[in-house]
Chains A and B, each alone.
Chain A
Amino acid sequence: AQKVTQAQTEISVVEKEDVTLDCVYETRDTTYYLFWYKQPPSGELVFLIRRNSFDEQNEISGRYSWNFQKSTSSFNFTITASQVVDSAVYFCALSEDVLAGRRALTFGSGTRLQVQP
């Protein structure tokens, strides 16, 4: 069975601080995808990144960066120089059975990030 754990329920930082959101996953599959989504108060899910299990390269996109480590089954997300607009709930998710396309995403419980001005 697959599982995603986001141990940090809520994080509060002051603007311009760096913040890392942790994500640990469990899966028996060797082929899988990991995702991060942002959910602002309006509710829609904003796609941030998808990473397949064969690609362990870290990725940077502007102020966002992701660290994927298969050895520790972690896919952590760092926001550099945080801004108030980054305040949202962030979800890490896992999807197995990618070739068949039959499986839904399994979401972590989410981390609520509050960036104070």
Chain B
Amino acid sequence: GAVVSQHPSWVICKSGTSVKIECRSLDFQATTMFWYRQFPKQSLMLMATSNEGSKATYEQGVEKDKFLINHASLTLSTLTVTSAHPEDSSFYICSAREISGISGNTIYFGEGSWLTVV
């Protein structure tokens, strides 16, 4: 069945550097992907909606210059955390929606990426 693959699963980076997280839809095309962030013991909060071929739509309070989202193809969206700081350490998870006709939409989540900034 359809799967969303997220990479890397774990990443540790130094403060001030940038890190890229990839989200790929396997076996289906996703015109829309979503990026969430989850701090420890908290819920998943939507960061942005990634639209293929156009600019991402960011939620209020999310810095677009810090969290760069690129959705260059129908199967790949990337989230780049620029100039990362320890407070950016979090669990980032993407999802993609497979539009499936009358039955509606099926939503698939990636495995998530643990980011630790040291």
Which residue of B41, B104, B111 is within 8 Å of A44 (Cβ)? Answer: B111
**Interface set, chain B 69-95, CB cutoff 8 A to A:** 91, 93, 95
Residue of A nearest to B10 (CB): A43
* C-alpha spacing A106/B107, complex, angstroms: 13
Q: How far is the CA of A108 from the CA of B36 in the complex (A)?
A: 13
- How many residues of A are in contact with the other chain, CB < 8 A? 23
B97 on the interface (CB 8 Å rule)?
yes
Say if the beta carbon of A98 comes within 8 Å of chain B.
yes
Answer whether A107 and B112 are a contact pair too, CB < 8 Å, given A45-B93, A101-B97, A102-B32: no
The contact sample of 6 A-B pairs, CB cut-off 8 A, is A43-B114, A44-B109, A44-B112, A95-B107, A104-B49, A110-B42
Residues of chain B having any CB pair with chain A under 8 Å: 31-32, 34, 36, 38, 41-46, 49, 91, 93, 95, 97, 99, 104-107, 109, 111-112, 114
